A and B are shown apart, each in its own frame.
Chain A
Amino acid sequence: MKHRRTALLLFALVVAFSPACRRPGGGSELILAGSTSIQPFADKWAEVFMQSHPDFGVNVQGGGSSAGIQACKSGACQIGMSSRELKGDELDLVAVVIARDGLAVVVHPSNPVRALRTSDVKQIFAGDIMSWRPLGGPDKRITVVTREEGSGTRGAFQELVMGKTRIFRGAITEDSNGTVREIVANDPCAVGFISLGLVNEQVRALDLDGAAATDENIGNGRYKLVRPFLFVSRGEPAGRAREFIDFVLSAAGQELVRKEGLLPVR
């Protein structure tokens, strides 16, 4: 009986105190949330940063650009990560460009098509060009792979390539850069768009308007599909958020950007 009572008491104590342990940001944690395109890079920064600041916890969460911006607005995180420009009622937040990312239009490595005009890409994603043949490829139906509504990558692609034209309804829709790459890597007729930093040997990035998707061409402005990676905050970042952003913008932080396949801003 006595033991049981002790056990019960212990249990009650655990239940009573467990929410306190799970409270996010209790103490010295900096929370970043937002774009899944920035997330892997932010994880890298956080890892290196915490090596030199062992008492400083950095917690990186995904959720997407819009969700990250909202979380920042509501105060659920100190830094929101956005892979698109701010718009509408988001403009009252302070944004810092921490890197740039190219968007690559990718195809299967066996695809004979190596280069396209941006207007061709637009017609493919609008559903107007359905076959590889007029583009110099085999007479096969194009498998168009896009991202879901709300994704920052899709938003950037819509803005930079499609303009007011819709991506057609029949396009296969996936919810991450990784899955798009996976599908394109396995389907010889597929075309999709992903972050340039995530292009690997499984897929080939097409030249657009005569410019290869390289850092150099992005730097000199010949390759046009580029989007900013933003850290946003309510008001000027201060305290720990400031420290972290300063680190990301420092020579060491920007060197990481370069190493991970993004374009540094400093």
Chain B
Amino acid sequence: MAGPKKAGAGNRLERNDRLIRLALLVVAFSAVSVLLVITVFIVGQGTPIMFRYGFKSFLAGSDWYPSEKLFGLWPMIVGSLFVTAGALAIGVPFGLSCAIVLTEFASKRVRGLIKPVIELLAGIPSVVYGFMGVVILVPFIRRTFGGPGLSVLAASIILGVMILPTVISISVDALQAVPPSYREGSIALGATRWQTVKMVLFPAARSGIIASIILGMGRAVGETMATIMIAGNAAEIPRSLLAPVRTLTSNVALEMGYATGEHREALFATGVVLFVIIMVLNTIANATSAKRRKAP
């Protein structure tokens, strides 16, 4: 207090600086700790029941009747895989074609039009996709192919559209990261543009494209609202594309409201399975994109 005014101001600035740095650090760690809390909570709530009934009855059991203490998740695990595979079968060819067109064939004006539209697609809430599915797609499938309409097919199509933005934007980044000299060299050797894409750009951007597919997969596995609305949620392994299916996410969201006791624990166990699947996917995606950064 007795010191000269100037030094006091300097001290204060320094102190402010330290305070802000500390505050930012706390914020950063709170994000990490949220993940930690989620992990601890889900694992803590979900695994005891798995130990009690045995992992095998959980993961391989095909009867989901919580009121009779039967907690077989196998139909939901298979259901999630089917729906995700279906979404990829639809989303990946469309997404990659779109990415190629955007980077290689579209004029600047067309690109300036399409890219924001695709980004907009990512901003549409999933409940809207679900609603469109229920109102337009499901009746269409029921009338054209028969069955209840609420089906693997409907879920695959809607999820396929939902993963488009992820697949497209990451593949576009990967394709754009290929050095121009590759492109120029290929053209100079007499390759056509399509040959250049197929034989030079694709292999060069491969790891980025794979990462885009895996992230799209993560989105499809994790999607809940749209799936609940259009998949029909039958807890049985679907025998055809037109049969209803229940995914892991739907299983949790569908029954969460009413579940108590062991039923509730079993839903947490569903969460654990889902968590492991998502973690594996994310790790693979990170590993492939890390490789891309090191050796382009």
Contact = CB atoms under 8 A, between A and B. Distances in A.
A46 B67 CA distance: 33
A148 B255 contact: yes
Contact of A66 (B134, B234, B235, B259): B259
A173 B254 contact: yes
Interface residues of A, number: 30
Contacts of B148: 143, 172, 183, 187, 189-190
Contacts of B263: 149-150
A186 B232 CA distance: 14
Given A64-B257, A151-B258, A186-B139, A172 B63 contact: no
Contact of A174 (B146, B149, B233, B259): B233
Interface in A141-183: 141, 143, 148-152, 158, 166, 169-175, 182-183
Given A149-B65, A149-B67, A170-B236, A63 B139 contact: no
A169 B244 CA distance: 10
B69 to A, nearest CB: 11
Contact of B64 (A151, A169, A174, A189): A169
Interface residues of B, number: 33
A62 interface: yes
A174 B244 CA distance: 12
B218 interface: no
A67 interface: yes
Contacts of A170: 234, 236, 243-244
Interface in B73-98: 75
Given A141-B147, A149-B263, A173 B258 contact: no
Contacts of B134: 182
Interface string B238-262: 0000011010000000110111100
B292 interface: no
Interface in A224-259: none
A214 interface: no
Interface string B127-150: 000000010001100100011111
Contacts of A151: 258
A172 B66 contact: no
Contact of B254 (A62, A65, A143, A148): A148
B228 interface: yes
- The interface residues of chain A, by DSSP majority, are classed as mixed
B258 A66 contact: yes
B257 A175 contact: yes
Contacts of B255: 148-150, 175
Contacts of B64: 149, 169
Contacts of A64: 257-258
A182 B228 CA distance: 14
A64 B138 CA distance: 28
Nearest to A34: B258
A6 B139 CA distance: 59
Interface in B40-85: 62-68, 75
Nearest to A151: B258
A70 interface: yes
A183 B68 CA distance: 27
A117 to B, nearest CB: 24
B229 to A, nearest CB: 8
Contacts of A150: 66-67, 255, 257-260, 263
17 contacts: A149-B64, A149-B66, A149-B259, A150-B260, A150-B263, A152-B258, A166-B65, A169-B236, A170-B234, A172-B150, A172-B232, A173-B246, A175-B254, A182-B134, A183-B150, A186-B139, A187-B148
